[in-house]
Amino acid sequence: MTSKRFGVFIACILTWWSLSFSPRLFAQSPVENPPSQPSTPAQAQPGGPLPGQDSNQRPAQPSSLPGGVQPGQLPGPVLGLGSTPMAPPSPPTLKSGPPTLKVDKKDLDNGGTITVTGKGTPGQPVLLEVWSENDVRTSFFDSKKDKETGNIPYILYMTEAMPAYYRICVPSSLKGKLEDIKKQGGGWSYSQTLKDLGADAAYTIPGKIKIDRYQATLLGSIVGSRGDILPKMDDKENKKRSKQLIKARFRRPGQVLAPTVEIKPDGSYTAKVNIPDGAAPGKYYIAAIGDNHLRSEQITVENKTVFPNIYMPNAGTSLNIFWPFLLTLAVTMFGVLMGAGGGFILNPLLISIWPLPHTVVAGTVMPTVAFSQASGIYNYSKIKFISWKFGVVMGLAMLLGGFIGPKLTELITLDQFKFIFGWILIVLAGLMWWQTTPGYLDKNKKEQAILKEFKKRAEEAAMAKK
Amino acid sequence: MIVNFWGQEFRVNIILGCIGAFLLAIVASMFGFGGGPFMVPLMTVGLGLPMYVVVGSSLLAIFFNTVIGSTRHYQFGNFDLVFFLVMFPAAILAGFIAPQIAKRVSPVWVKRIACIGLLILALNLLGVY
């Protein structure tokens, strides 16, 4: 019988499907607890920077290289150089003063371009650091093998304080370099980019945000806990991890770096700072960083968003709400027609069109369908069209799965999210295609006839009771 | 397990069903979709139930997943209220409009179009173009 064969086929697809992504899941959720020591605030390491010396001021220092090992330092995740104080942005003992800073306007409506002018030391580059007062939650799961020890750390880094908008403006002469980095695609490294562009000095604000670390375990992931919280990182480690979080939040080099500072030979500069119309409302701060890491006073610019642009605090983006409304309307309508919830199409579209985190998209789309499901259940239950025993038993199995799934969402990156979702959609397309094959349609016709008959009887029975 | 439905009895391999439902729920809640289009084939093809038993019961089963998945996402701070309030009315509105359109279009063609659309979207997600 063809239908039986098809059953086997579908079972194969489902098995393959669950297997083909499970290694991916296991790559994320630890099989065992790596025997890594938590990074302790380091004692003075031979070869480390001298106490009081500012590592920030020596960008070529090997200790600031990711994965770099100090001579004499033990291999392993002893990353801290706790004795090194966090760079206070402006060491004051220098002849030339910090760059000056002026803006052409202090109020913005739904974003806009601010022209910044000022004067720095002749012949020296000027950098601008721009950040917003509004912050968002960002997380990053470190499951990359440590090159030195071969251990996979399985640590979830999470912060509530990532600026919703963050950008460093670098001299326009670096445009070519930045373009090269953009060409690297998803594999770019933010900390390497900062170093290559000589923009390390401008990176201060996100380096100090509070970051929590959780040691993920397989068991923990199953019961849906984030794992044990690890001790606070020292400043240097915090700064290093904050750069990975920056990448997790802003994704592309063009989002966090702009080669817009035009510098004249006499040291004066102009820069255009663009706050896009999707940016968060509230205060924006701009500071200029010049020669010898001298930092100007920061200037505050106020951005207002006007209806229909509304800021979504968890997503960290403001949107013209009509677009997501229309998109949801169109997609869920189509979803009803094709017999699937809209989530399949809505989720990938939302993450592709707007800079929304995949966790927020998944977590917000899910409850939107709850109501229509509930009303469907109510309608079917009125005509006694639900096998409660069967539905509840299956539902309990789903309850367990649904408990675990949301935990896994934050353990995967956006790219992994897209990759797995892509395959899910291909399987779904296969199912849809199968439902248009003549064999299926034939069977379906009969079933629909029985379904109608049953419904009629059920409705009559319900009426008769009244 | 024996499922009674309007006087008919169906023998069901509930262990297979529960494993399938469990795995499906993980994926569905992870990626934030309902899972109906996978649940229905699981119940009809995998468990051999006829369509008329499945329509209501599958909805009940995935409702469990939606509720717990939403709760967990909320716990993890993945829920954005403003965004929800934008999408929710649209979803409700669609629930009223769609059945009106459904009467006028052929479901087979809708599925064929969906099939192509899904493939295009999938290739986009996989970075093919």
User: A370–B66: do the CB atoms touch at under 8 Å?
Assistant: yes
What residues contact A261, with CB distance under 8 A and at least 6 apart? A125, A126, A127, A128, A169, A170, A171, A172, A269, A270, A271
Q: How many CB atoms lie within 10 A of CB A70?
A: 16
The whole-angstrom separation of Cα A27 and Cα A22 is 8
B45-57 burial, b if ≥16 CB within 10 A, otherwise e?
bbbebbbbbbbbb
Nearest neighbour of B67 by CB, restricted to A370, A393, A418: A370
Average pLDDT, chain A: 78
- The pLDDT of residue A14: 40
B59 CA to chain A: closest CA distance, Å? Answer: 6
Pairing state between β A135-142 and B2-5:
unpaired
Pairing state between β A107-109 and A299-304:
parallel
SS (H, E, C) chain A: CHHHHHHHHHHHHHHHHHHHHHHHHHHHCCCCCCCCCCCCCCCCCCCCCCCCCCHHHCCCCHHHCCCCCCCCCCCCCCCCCCCCCCCCCCCCCCCCCCCCCEECCCEEECCEEEEEEEECCCCCCCEEEEEECCEEEEEEEECCCCCCCCCCCCEEEEEEEEECCEEEEEEHHHHHHHHHHHHCHHHCCHHHHHHHCCCHHHCCCHHHCCEEEEECCHHHHHHCCCCEECCCCCHHHHHHHHHHHHHHHHCCHHHHEEEEEEECCCCEEEEEEEECCCCCCEEEEEEEECHHHCECCCEEEEEECCCCEEEECCCCEEEECHHHHHHHHHHHHHHHHHCCCCHHHHHHHHHHHCCCCHHHHHHHHHHHHHHHHHHHHHHHHHCCCCCHHHHHHHHHHHHHHHHHHHHHHCCCCHHHHHHHHHHHHHHHHHHHHHCCCHHHHHHHHHHHHHHHHHHHHHHHHHHHHC
Q: Does B69 touch chain A (CB under 8 A)?
A: yes
Spatial contact of A89 and A98, defined as CB atoms under 8 Å apart: no
Of B31, B76, B68, whose CA–CA distance to A225 is shortest? B76
B104 CA to chain A: closest CA distance, Å? Answer: 11
> Which residues, numbered 85 to 124 in chain B, qualify as contacts with chain A under a Cβ-Cβ cut-off of 8 Å?
86-95, 97-99, 101-102, 105, 107-108, 110-112, 114-119, 121-124
Tokens found for residue A348 = 């990938």
Helix (H, G, I), strand (E, B) or coil at B10: strand
A113-126 burial, b if ≥16 CB within 10 A, otherwise e?
ebebebbbbeeebb
- The pLDDT of residue A419: 93
The whole-angstrom separation of Cα A442 and Cα A444 is 5
The whole-angstrom separation of Cα B64 and Cα B75 is 17
Nearest neighbour of B90 by CB, restricted to A6, A328, A418: A328
Q: What mean pLDDT is predicted for residues B11-33?
A: 93
Tokens found for residue A12 = 């194969």
Q: Is residue B120 over pLDDT 90? A: yes
Instruction: Tell me which DSSP letter residue B43 carries.
Output: I
The pTM (predicted TM-score) of the whole model is 0.73
Q: Does B21 touch chain A (CB under 8 A)?
A: yes
Rg of chain A over CA atoms, in angstroms? Answer: 28
Q: Domain A55-304 class?
A: mainly beta
> pLDDT by residue (tens digit) across B77-116?
899 999 999 999 999 998 888 888 888 888 888 888 989 9
Nearest neighbour of A312 by CB, restricted to B41, B42, B83: B83
Spatial contact of A115 and A275, defined as CB atoms under 8 Å apart: no
Place of tokens 């023998």: B11
- Crossing angle between the packed helical segments B14-31 and B51-75, to the nearest 10 degrees: 40
> pLDDT by residue (tens digit) across A59-94?
333 333 343 333 334 443 333 333 444 444 444 444
Please list the residues that pair with A139 across neighbouring strands: A158
- The pLDDT of residue A64: 37
Q: Is residue B61 over pLDDT 90? A: yes
- Crossing angle between the packed helical segments A358-382 and A343-353, to the nearest 10 degrees: 160
Q: Is residue B32 over pLDDT 70? A: yes
> pLDDT by residue (tens digit) across A242-287?
999 999 888 889 889 999 999 998 889 999 999 887 788 889 999 9
What residues contact A278, with CB distance under 8 A and at least 6 apart? A111, A309, A317, A318, A319, A354, A355
Place of tokens 């592309």: A252
Spatial contact of B72 and A403, defined as CB atoms under 8 Å apart: yes
Of A193, A210, A328, A324, whose CA–CA distance to A254 is shortest? A193
Hey, where are the domains in chain B? Answer: 1-79, 80-129
- The pLDDT of residue A466: 64
User: A349–B121: do the CB atoms touch at under 8 Å?
Assistant: yes
Residues for chain B: how many in total?
129
B31 CA to chain A: closest CA distance, Å? Answer: 5
- The pLDDT of residue A350: 92
Spatial contact of A109 and A183, defined as CB atoms under 8 Å apart: no
The whole-angstrom separation of Cα A227 and Cα A159 is 15
Helix (H, G, I), strand (E, B) or coil at B58: helix
Q: Could you say which residues of chain A have pLDDT below 50?
A: 1-4, 6-94
Nearest neighbour of A406 by CB, restricted to B4, B14, B69: B69
Tokens found for residue A159 = 């912060």
- The pLDDT of residue B30: 93
Tokens found for residue A167 = 């950008």
- The pLDDT of residue A95: 55
Tokens found for residue A11 = 């079972």
Of A8, A6, A12, A13, whose CA–CA distance to A429 is shortest? A13
Average pLDDT, chain B: 89
